[in-house]
A and B are shown apart, each in its own frame.
Chain A
Amino acid sequence: MYEGVVQDLIDELGRLPGIGPKGAQRIAFYILQTDLADVRRLAELLLEVKEKVHFCVECGNVAQEERCRVCLDPRRDLTAICVVEEPKDIVAIERTREFKGRYHVLGGAISPIEGVGPDDLRIRELMTRLADGTVTEVIIATDPNLEGEATATYLTRFLAPLGVAVTRLASGLPVGGDLEYADEVTLGRAFEGRRRVDRQAP
């Protein structure tokens, strides 16, 4: 244990995703040894990002305005929506330049063991977007792990009666991996080879 404010900083950093107690300690001491100007810039940036960046009212992506850059872009195809778990997945898919439609961020995957059910995700918002019939294809690009698959299963069952084509990214994505770690080539191929999942194969 360290004195007051240093320990407070370590505790706070330790709450960040992917940072354990040792990592938190390392970062805390790095900050202690860093120039005041640099630390101030980091602190200001943290506040700025919280004040200026929101989630797009349409798709749930990060946005500086009410809507994100993708939703504001008039050249995007309005007939296709790609469903992802997190905004960072949009970044990965945009790098492939394979997809011209818009996105929908669920905010995670269904995980009963973590207490996350369908009602905790932005599924109702997706239904609202599909209501007027403009969208004809929904591509499900949840992570290629079991929770992502189960979420896709749930969504497919939900979407199939609506009459939109539901496709799922092709395999080639390594099972158990994170979408954000897939390279552009693999992810691009997965888009090209997406398969229809709302009807059984003949």
Chain B
Amino acid sequence: MPVYRDEAIVLRVHKLGEADRIVTFLTRGNGRVRAVAKGVRRTTSRFGARLEPFSHVDIQFHVGRNLDTVTQVEALESHGPSLSSDYPRWTSGSAMLETAERMTPVEREPAQQQFLLLVGGLRALVAGEHAPSLVLDAYLLRSLAVAGWSPSFDACAKCGELGPHRAFSITGGGALCAECRLPGSASPGAETLTLLGALLSGDWAAADASDERNRREGSGLVAAFLTWHLERGLRSLPLVERS
């Protein structure tokens, strides 16, 4: 198979030599793929603008010995310009791309759900109907869920007893009943857990109506969950501007 075609989101670009780039993609069918794009930094390249982070592309690769080479690119959606002109959106989007990369640690292992989640998350960010910070947290929670690390915000994460519960533990998987409560559990506001549940299930009416204090507390819990599961924190997450 010397040539193959796929649909992809550009996650990251690295300079290579004088004018080339190594581009990391999350593809629909082939998982995370790294490939060489030749000559894209020259001013005459037609590829350059299409191979920027956040671009959603239809792409053709040529199979190489080490890295594949990009041979054709058609733009499907270029989210980059509308994100780079709005700082909170840009930083939130950057955290999504880094998450997508970290959630697909093995190259070429198909990750269609992560791909679809990223496509949807970026669209929601660009559409601007909800606060960027909420869109980001919804994306992060669902990405964790796809990876099998879905936290519980209502029922007890250990025994399943219906909530709401007061105790909440990152290492214990979320909400915990009085019986299962672990030492060192936090007690976040009840509205914060309701907000996180709404973000995970897609109840945007409830999420949009939440107040600033709960959003902040919720973002902190989501970040703690992500860092716990990824073992190493995201570089972009502390730089996200939460308005």
Contact = CB atoms under 8 A, between A and B. Distances in A.
A150 B48 contact: no
Interface stretch (B36-44, B105-113, B168-176, B209-217): B36-44
A177 B236 CA distance: 23
B12 interface: yes
Contact of B41 (A20, A115, A181): A181
Contact of A113 (B12, B40, B48): B12
Interface core residue of A17, A149, A157, A182 (most chain B CB under 10 Å): A149
B235 A183 contact: no
Contact of B43 (A111, A115, A182): A182
B48 A174 contact: yes
A1 B170 CA distance: 45
A18 interface: yes
Contact of B81 (A20, A117, A149, A154): A149
B87 A178 contact: no
A183 B97 CA distance: 32
Contacts of B81: 146, 149
A64 interface: no
Contacts of B84: 146-147, 149-150, 153
Interface residues of A, number: 29
Interface of A: 17-18, 20, 23, 110-115, 117, 145-147, 149-150, 153-154, 157, 173-178, 181-183, 186
Interface stretch (B27-35, B50-58, B126-134, B194-202): B50-58
Nearest to A173: B43
User: What are the nearest 10 A-B pairs in CB distance?
Assistant: A176-B48, A115-B235, A112-B236, A112-B94, A149-B84, A175-B49, A150-B84, A112-B239, A176-B49, A117-B239
A20 B85 CA distance: 34
26 contacts: A17-B15, A18-B15, A18-B17, A23-B17, A110-B239, A111-B94, A112-B235, A112-B236, A113-B12, A113-B53, A113-B98, A115-B239, A117-B239, A145-B52, A146-B80, A146-B83, A150-B84, A153-B85, A153-B87, A174-B43, A174-B45, A175-B48, A176-B41, A176-B50, A177-B42, A182-B43
B48 A177 contact: yes
Given A149-B84, A157-B87, A174 B235 contact: no
A176 B87 contact: no
Contacts of B240: 112
